[in-house]
Homo-oligomer: A and B are copies of this chain.
Amino acid sequence: MAEKKTKINTYERIVEAALQLFNQEAERNISTNHIAAFLGISPGNLYYYFHNKDEIIMELYKRYRRDLTQFLQSSKPPQTAVEVKDFIMTVYEIMWQYRFLFSDVTALLARNSELQMEHEKFTINEVAPTIEQSLQYLVDQNLVKMDKIDLHVFSINFWLVVKHWFAFDKSIHNNQLDKNSKSRGTYQLFGMLRPYVVEKLSEDYDKVMAELTPTKLA
Chain A residues near B (Cβ < 8 Å): 28, 104-107, 109-111, 116, 119-120, 123-125, 128-129, 149-150, 152-154, 156-157, 160-161, 163-165, 167-168, 171-172, 175, 187-188, 191-192, 194-196, 206, 209, 214-215, 217-218
Task: Tell me the number of copies of this protein.
Answer: 2
Which residue from chain B places its CB closest to the CB of A210 in the assembled complex? B149
Q: List 21 A-B contacts (CB under 8 A).
A: A104-B110, A106-B164, A107-B110, A107-B111, A109-B171, A120-B172, A124-B172, A124-B217, A128-B217, A129-B218, A149-B206, A150-B191, A152-B191, A152-B214, A153-B188, A153-B192, A153-B194, A156-B215, A157-B161, A160-B165, A163-B164
- Nearest chain B residue, comparing its CB with the CB of A209: B149
Distance between Cα atoms of A15 and B215 in the complex (Å): 36
Q: Chain B residue with minimal CB distance to A187? A: B153
Please indicate the chain B residues that have their CB under 8 angstroms from the CB of A106 in the complex. 104-107, 164, 167
Q: Is the CB of B156 within 8 A of A217?
A: yes
Contact of A188 among B125, B157, B163 (CB under 8 A): B157
Tell me the complex Cα distance, A165–B196, Å.
Answer: 23
A171:B107 contact, CB within 8 angstroms: no
Query: CA of A155 to CA of B150 in the docked complex: distance in angstroms?
Result: 18
Q: Do A160 and B164 contact each other (CB < 8 Å), given the known contacts A129-B218, A171-B120, A209-B149?
A: yes
Question: Which residue of chain B has the shortest Cβ distance to A175 in the bound complex?
Answer: B116
Give the residue of B125, B128, B153, B215 whose beta carbon is less than 8 angstroms from that of A191: B153
Query: A160 → chain B, closest Cβ, in Å?
Result: 5
**C-alpha spacing A206/B107, complex, angstroms:** 37
Give the top 8 A-B pairs by smallest Cβ distance, nearest first: A153-B191, A106-B106, A107-B107, A195-B195, A128-B217, A107-B110, A160-B161, A124-B217
Instruction: List residues of chain B with CB within 8 A of the CB of A110.
Output: 28, 104, 107
